[in-house]
Chain A
């Protein structure tokens, strides 16, 4: 594919509902990142994968947030028992890795929790 693809583009969830957000990185990109972007703010780091290994999850705000990348390609960010403060745009980015830090971002999933 030409770029990082995220789905769904928009997600509306009722408070307490579980959601799953998908990211298809650029083919061949080793590194994959999830960021959260609140309205009017810069992206905030959530978690980082190198291939299938989750090397850094220090940005995940609570144990309701879980991310996986089982085959080192597609990644899923899951949020359990969503709360209103989870409403944000969730951005996925990938990079070649191996010293190449330039991140390529997807368009994001806009999550609204009602």
Chain B
């Protein structure tokens, strides 16, 4: 299949290092935030989500931090592995009356062995 994100911002890290991917949002009414991983030729795969009443949420090797004051959230991946190489998208739900998620433009993570 076609590659996803040929001209995306790229974060390059060494295997074993921690990765941080940032996402800014503009809609102060957004109440739900979510991160997806997309590998070439595949659909987005859920990683982790967080609601606006929380500041931090942890999963397996992943953490999402939400700062509503500056309208920013970040995905942290601990001990990054080659299998983490992919394009990462943040998304938000901006209006409780609208169920659809709005996606950002994505960041390519490259893990160097």
Contacts and interface: CB of A to CB of B under 8 A. Distances in A.
Interface of B: prevailing SS:
loop
Contacts of A59: 100
Interface stretch (A35-43, A66-74, A78-86): A35-43
A26 to B, nearest CB: 12
Given A91-B43, A101-B34, A105-B45, A56 B98 contact: yes
Contacts of A37: 4
B47 to A, nearest CB: 11
Interface in B40-70: 41-46, 49
Contacts of A43: 44, 89, 103
A39 B6 CA distance: 7
Interface residues of A, number: 30
Interface in A38-73: 39-45, 48, 50, 55-56, 59
Contact of A110 (B2, B32, B98): B2
A103 interface: yes
Contact of B34 (A89, A91, A102): A102
A107 to B, nearest CB: 5
- Which 6 residue pairs across A and B have the least CB separation, nearest first? A105-B43, A42-B103, A45-B100, A105-B44, A107-B43, A40-B7
15 contacts: A33-B99, A35-B103, A37-B4, A40-B6, A40-B7, A42-B89, A45-B101, A59-B100, A102-B46, A102-B49, A105-B36, A108-B42, A108-B43, A110-B1, A110-B2
